Amino acid sequence: MFASDRSGNFDIWRMDIDGSALLDLTPGPSADLDPAWSPDGKQIAFVSDRDGNDEIFTMRADGSGLRQVTTTAGSVQNTQPAWSPDGTRIAFTSTRDGNQEVYVQHASGSGAPIDLTKNPADDSDPAWSPDGNQIAFTSTRDGNQEVYVTTANGSGQSVDLTQDPGADSQPAWSPDGAEIAFTSDRTGNNDIFVMTPAGLGQTDLTNTAASETEPVFSPDGGTRVAFTTDRDGNDEIYYLQPIQPSFQFDLTVNPATDGSPSWQPLPPRPIAGTPIKHIVVLYQENQSFNSVLGPLCVALGRCEGTLTGTISTGGTIDLNPAPDIVPGAGHSQTAQTTAMDGGKMDAFDLIRGCGAATHYACYQAYQPEQIPNIAALAQNFAIADRSFEGAVVSSWGAHFVLASSQMDGFYLDQHINTPHLSGPGWGCDSKRQGGWSPSIYGISTAVDMPTCVPERDGSGPYRPSQAAWVPTIMDRLDQAGLSWKIYSPPVVDPGYIWAICPTFADCFYTQQRANMTDPGQFVTDVTNGDLPTLSLVVPLYSDSQHNGKSMRQGDNWIAQQVSAIMNSPDWSSTAIFLTWDDCGCFYDPVAPPAGDGIREPMIIISPFVKPSSTDSHDASVNSILAFTEHTLGLAPLGSLDGNAYDFSGSFDYSQPPLSGIRLSSHPLPKWEVAWLRTHPAPQDHDPS
């Protein structure tokens, strides 16, 4: 979040860390400045002159619920709001006593504000310590600007932390309280510095000839610092990683004046209090919603499906009967973008392998009798018929998002071999590279970066990476002391490319790697009563229903996994999400919401799912993360899962628990078994 005059006057704007999802929260003629997120991430305090002078207001994260906190008259200025860590108070700077002082007021606006600094010098820029016991601020009481700290109730002495002849100001605490960032002109121009809360180790992070001001740490471990800089000729929001500060990236990229960055906090959610103690994700390969469930939806009349498709000429064709061996077709990021055609969903025939020469191979759908176990689960439990890819990506990206809710700047689905270094899979041990950009504004000029998300200290990739550490759902579960496993193909299986853990150095090179095991272990763990709190189950390549593999074999595998749960004591406390990672890329008629990819099959299976129901809320893989976080009381990983629908409409915890259903295995024809044995590797070379 930041303030910008790009609309003609200063407004408060909200965006994701990559510059996407840009939204003006305060459109109108007033000047709105100094935004600050509340600790729960649900409210925003800001300064506005809409009443004739600068006052502190609050609003909800979507811009609604406006409330005035301060009320003064004349030319008094109330600026620089800062929330207390418990969210009950707001510190701010005010000139109501004739000079700048730091005041504290109840966040509701009730009660009289308390003058915290009480000094004839100018005091400003309040910043609460994470424990709420101290407030750092800027003061001129020693003749020049210095960063001071005092007790939050004003009872203690104010201590000069910076003690430098330069102008030091704008303190900001790191989330763990171990560092304070601040602005200083001691080098001849404003730079961003950091120091300990005792004022030790004062270090220049930005070190440029431009002016850098208004630092603020990211909420998740303080791994990044956002700040304002004029290095591009106008004020922009940049960020850097303190562990490698030479990499500094423009987030806003706009000719307007952008400043006052504020990160949205990611606090843990209250535990939902449901019977669900185990969450299982079965993550299959390369199908669209309509290719798997379209004919069933038409037959049931309770979900959106079709038996025809639109091609790029504008014509309509019948969908082909789908062969059990899934046809090979393009399904890269570029192919998917082509197929969607800006939301028209009419250009699947322009994908490689899908045109008239192949009898429109992408225009196909499976009849329920071809996938009897999938069909039985869909008929008896919940279908989510507006669940989309969390981003326009193929398989590596889809598995990336399942773990972290975002792609960390890896905008291009590329896995480029690095000469003399390439290893297995597509993650850290592959030594491969992929197209990366810090924001959406640089996608067209993305640089090659190791396809390995670094650890917090930057280690992990085979060479230095500009990509930042990002948290995963595995990290959240570890922090909460909850169990998890990733059941994924071993390195000898072609499906190792989807193994999830190798993409994150924080998983692959740490003790988390011990939680990575073969998918064959899942049924054993269920049978032995060792079902983790979260299970991410990725099939072997042969069971994945990927292009070139058998849908029936995958259907049998799904039946085996789900039956094991239904026949175990843990069935009474489990929610299963059966879904597919990307389109394959097979025809689907439903245009996705902005930022999402093609619609994917989603079947939700649990004793507490509304029986034979359809959930038509917009959803994605981030909705699985949202369900997990809300059910277990975990902090969101970012704004995408934090704002995602959580499938709550699919569940009724007050209903009598549903029983499991009988699922069975159906043998493949001998010719097909032989064919599959002689075609073990992928038939295509698109990333997925």
Q: What is the pLDDT of residues 665-677, one digit of tens each?
A: 999 999 999 999 9
Q: What is the pLDDT of residues 445-455, one digit of tens each?
A: 889 999 999 99
Q: Which amino acid is at 164?
A: D
Per DSSP bridges, beta strands 146-151 and 159-160 are antiparallel
Using CA atoms, how far apart are residues 441 and 654, in angstroms rounded to an integer? 48
Helix (H) or strand (E) holding 334: helix 333-340
In this structure, how many other beta carbons lie within 10 angstroms of the beta carbon of residue 655? 12
pLDDT score, position 416:
86
Q: Which of 127, 546, 155 is nearest to 327 (CA)?
A: 546
Going by C-alpha positions, the residue among 475, 483, 476, 562 that lies closest to residue 515 is 483
Residue 535's contacts (CB-CB under 8 Å, 6 or more residues apart) are: 278, 279, 280, 281, 484, 485, 487, 522, 525
Contacts of 325 (CB under 8 A, 6+ apart): 548, 549, 550, 672, 675, 676
- Torsion angle of C-alpha atoms 24, 26, 27, 30, degrees rounded to 10: -140
- Per DSSP, helices labelled H in 65-110 are none
pLDDT at 232 over 70: yes
From the list 459, 416, 449, the residue with the least C-alpha distance to 249 is 449
Where does 126-280 have alpha helices with state H? none
Element (H, E) at 297: helix 289-300
> Which tens digit of pLDDT belongs to each residue from 537-554?
999 999 999 999 999 999
Cβ proximity of 494 and 680 under 8 Å: yes
pLDDT digits (tens, 9 = 90+) for 459-509: 999 999 999 999 999 999 999 999 999 999 999 999 999 999 999 999 999
Rg (CA), the chain: 27
Given the DSSP bridges, would you call strands 191-195 and 180-184 parallel, antiparallel or unpaired?
A: antiparallel
Sign of the torsion formed by the C-alpha atoms of 158, 162, 166 and 169: negative
| Spatial distance between the Cα atoms of 590 and 669, rounded to a whole number of angstroms | 34
Residue 138 in this model has a pLDDT that exceeds 50: yes
The Cα–Cα gap between 461 and 469 comes to: 11
Selection from 292, 276, 275 nearest residue 558 by Cα: 292
Q: Is the pLDDT of residue 228 over 60?
A: yes
The share of the chain scoring above pLDDT 70, in percent, equals 99
List, in order, residues 6 or more apart from 324 with CB less than 8 Å away.
Answer: 370, 550, 551, 552, 668, 672
In 389-492 the beta strands, taken as DSSP E runs, fall at 433-436, 447-450, 484-487
Query: Contact at 8 Å (CB) between 453 and 467?
Result: yes
Distances from the Cα of 610 to the Cαs of 315, 586, 605, 648, in angstroms?
38, 29, 9, 10
Encode pLDDT of 63-108 as tens digits.
999 999 999 988 999 999 999 999 999 999 999 999 999 999 999 9
The answer to whether 90 touches 104, Cβ cutoff 8 Å, is yes
H or E, element range at 57: strand 55-60
Size of the chain in residues:
688
Mean pLDDT to the nearest integer, 116-131: 96
Distance separating alpha carbons of residues 209 and 219, to the nearest angstrom: 28
CA 80 – CA 46 distance, rounded (Å): 8
23-24 and 32-37 as β-strands: parallel, antiparallel, unpaired? unpaired
The Cβ-side half-sphere exposure at 408, using a 13 Å CA radius, reads 29
Please, what are the domains in the chain? Answer: 2-259 (2.120.10.30), 278-304+369-406+471-615+652-678 (3.40.720.10), 411-469 (no CATH)
pTM: 0.95
- The whole-number pLDDT of residue 679 equals 87
Q: How far apart, in whole angstroms, are the C-alpha atoms of residue 298 and residue 481?
A: 44
Token look-up 């075609």 returns 679
| Maximal CA-CA distance, the chain | 91
pLDDT grade for 682, boundaries at 50, 70 and 90: low
Q: Which distant-in-sequence residues (6+ apart) come within 8 Å of 86 by Cβ?
A: 39, 132
CA 298 to chain centre: 34
Cβ 506 vs Cβ 461: under 8 Å = no
Return the pLDDT at 420.
79
Q: What pLDDT, on the 0 to 100 scale, is given for residue 202?
A: 98
Give the burial class of 268: count Cβ atoms within 10 A of its Cβ; 0-12 exposed, 13-18 middle, 19 or more buried.
middle
Of 43, 44, 45, 50, which Cα lies nearest the Cα of 27?
50
d(CA 101, CA 253): 35
| Residue 539 CA, distance from chain mean position | 24
Rounded to whole angstroms, the Cα distance separating 288 from 641 reads: 22
Exposure letters 172-181 (e unless 16+ CB within 10 A, then b): bbbbeeebbb
At residue 683 the predicted structure's pLDDT band, cuts being 50, 70 and 90, is very low
Whether the CB-CB separation of 328 and 683 falls below 8 Å is answered with: yes
Question: Cα torsion for 185, 187, 192, 198, to the nearest 10°?
Answer: -90
Q: Mean pLDDT in the chain?
A: 95
User: What pLDDT, in 10s, does the model give residues 327-378?
Assistant: 999 888 999 999 999 999 999 999 999 999 999 999 999 999 999 999 999 9
Q: Give the separation between CA 663 and CA 566, rounded to whole angstroms.
A: 10
